[in-house]
Amino acid sequence: MRSKFRNGNLIPVSIRNILYETGEISQFTFRFFKEGILPPYEWGELFRQCYNVGNKSLPLVGITTFIIGLVLTLQSKPTLQLFGAEAWLPAMVGLSIVREIGPMLTALICAGKVGSGIGAELGSMKVTEQIDAMEVSGVNPFKYVVSTRIIACTLMIPVLAILGDIIALCGSYIAVNLHGTLTFRLFFNQVFEHLAFGDIIPSIIKTYFFGFVIGLVGCYKGYFSNKGTQGVGQSANTAVVVSSLLVFIIDLIAVQVSKFFGLI
């Protein structure tokens, strides 16, 4: 019992650490809105980060979503056949991918790849004192290093999610035609016939929050990295864990908000 409490404090150390880090991340967020979105802008670095986040993540997102669309269709088809509802397969798969599976899968992949990469990159810059060198040379490291990465994640992850949805639907189309014949036009007509703006718009909006959280947590963990090279690995690891957890929390909140407004 004594190991959980210190100095007679009734709040466990683990809880206090979580509350302390929550406060630190909140201050980091306020600083981003205070400094990051005001001119001057680092357009060159922003475009480079958008390329790193988008283009370099697209192959992994594409392969994963294609397989998910393929597997989801193959797993769902026998069940629908038992109830004589095989004709509903394109609509069911389309709704599942667009509403939930596509955005969530893309966000989790980016949390693992982009979040860890940002945490490790900024952690190594902090350990090797590159960030301190920027301050000495008169460059605002927060605006150049942090803001560009957060904005790039916020802009590019929705694009990746949309492309992932399209690729997953193409995988579903291939799975449908493995043991049948359904034209490409008819398949997508059935998909979009049962999709409404209430399905598409909320799923796109929440990906902006996913991207913002992934970039913010990765930058925060890397920017305040310490303990040398060991801290770099720790920053990358915790960035993945925390950002993935926050993605699930945001998705839960998004579902409740959509319910409240009658979108689902």
Domain boundaries, the chain: 42-260
Q: 107-110 — which CB contacts under 8 Å span 24+ positions?
A: 107/157, 107/161, 107/207, 107/210, 107/211, 107/214, 107/247, 108/244, 108/247, 109/57, 109/60, 109/61, 109/64, 110/53, 110/57, 110/61, 110/153, 110/157, 110/160, 110/210, 110/211, 110/214
Bigger pLDDT: 13 vs 117: 117
Q: Looking at residue 174, what is its pLDDT?
A: 93
Amino acid at 231: G
- Which contiguous run of DSSP H or E holds residue 4? none
Q: Looking at residue 233, what is its pLDDT?
A: 83
pTM of the model: 0.89
Task: Give the model confidence (pLDDT) of 112-148 as tens digits.
Answer: 999 999 999 998 888 888 888 887 887 788 888 999 9
Task: Give the model confidence (pLDDT) of 90-99 as tens digits.
Answer: 999 999 999 9
Task: Give the model confidence (pLDDT) of 216-262 as tens digits.
Answer: 999 999 888 876 777 788 888 899 999 999 999 999 999 898 887 77
- The Cα–Cα gap between 211 and 203 comes to 13
